[in-house]
Amino acid sequence: MQGNIFFGLFTKNIGIDLGTSTTLVYIKGKGIVLYEPSVVAFKDGGNKILAVGKEAKKMMGRTPRGLFTVRPLKEGVIANFEVTAEMLKFFIKKVYHPNRFIRPSIIICVPSGVTEVEKRAVSKVAYKCGARQVFLIDEPIAAAIGVGLPIFEPMGNLVVDIGGGTSEVAIISLGGIVVSELSQIAGDYINEVISKYVKQVHNLYIGELTAEEIKLNLSIDKLSPENSGYEIRGRDKVTGLPKIIKISKDELREALSEPLRIIANTVKITLEKTPPELISDIIDKGVIMTGGGSLLVGLAELLQEEIGIPTFTSFEPVYCVIKGIGKVMEDFNFYQRVLIRTSKGI
């Protein structure tokens, strides 16, 4: 009952999916109110923030001297505390008008494999943004709730959440994580693989945003029946001059076969550690994939082939985690047992 005080009539409640690539914000009673890149642009040696989110991302790879961009989270955890706090303050201020008499309670997700030190860092950031109370929730749990899985039932639910910085595989039963594996082979790593492949095979240097655009064009919602070529622009490795090349989508998919197989192997490792009774449940129910990385063409089919279990990509996988946080906020009494309550002193 004590936790319910913090989610009562006299508080404003905010849910945050703080991701390596993107940050999403949910406000109780309003729904998802923000979807922005987790990027900050600096000026004057890092002392002055010039832009945050979408505007900062537009500047990536295009900055003049004295201006630079940074992603303050790396592989799912905070790499730069001060910058993360400033970024989060900016996002919250954009969608929520603070009241000095009513401070918000915040639920914020964390990767399930992070350390206690990393959890404290996330909590401190939220308190620095003016939170009255901060709760943490494991990302796979939030994703499972967002999908609508019966997480409190005595049965196994296998969730594969592929974000920008991490891929998380978790077996969930009775409201908790039974077995989990965390891998850094995720969206950002796939961008790097694309960049390296284009450089090594086609002698072309491309930027981070170009690599990400190529990856997005290999997603399920961009799938076209024909193997149309993809035009890529960059700088020639040999001459140093601008160059345009054309690569088939099949070639790019083949280039990504290694990271996709590593993700599939992470699922295998998780299943090898799973109790037999829960394996039986998973065979019946299948595997649910969430996160933006789950949209990569061929991943679901490869995973199903590797583990022999039906694999499904959830509806709107990018929003599963923030939807799960939203459900927790809207029905706090039912879901509060999955939350980790923090204090300013930790």
Is 31 marked as a binding-site residue?
no
Which three-class secondary structure string do you get for the chain? CHHHHCCCCCCCEEEEEECCCEEEEEECCCEEEEEEECCEEEECCCCEEEEECHHHHHCCCCCCCCEEEECCEECCEECCHHHHHHHHHHHHHHHCCCECCECCEEEEEECCCCCHHHHHHHHHHHHHCCCCEEEEEEHHHHHHHHHCCCCCCCCCEEEEEECCCCEEEEEEECCEEEEEEEECCCHHHHHHHHHHHHHHHHCEECCHHHHHHHHHCCEHHHCCCCCCEEEEEEEECCCCCEEEEEEEHHHHHHHCHHHHHHHHHHHHHHHHCCCHHHHHHHHHHCEEEECHHHHECCHHHHHHHHHCCCEEECCCHHHHHHHHHHHHHHCHHHHHHHCEECCCCC
Task: Give dist(CA 107, CA 340) in Å, integer.
Answer: 9
- Residue pair 207/59 in contact (Cβ under 8 Å)? The answer is no
The answer to whether the annotation marks 16 as part of a ligand binding site is no
Q: Is 294 annotated as a binding residue?
A: yes
Q: How far apart are CA 299 and CA 166, in angstroms?
A: 16
Q: Does 214 appear as a known binding residue?
A: yes
Q: Give CA–CA dist 209/229, Å, rounded.
A: 19
Q: Is 212 annotated as a binding residue?
A: yes
Is 208 annotated as contributing to ligand binding? no
End-to-end, the C-alpha distance of the chain in Å comes to 22
Does 215 carry a binding-site annotation? yes
Give the annotated binding-site residues for ATP.
Answer: 164-166, 212-215, 292-295
Residues marked as binding?
Answer: 164-166, 212-215, 292-295
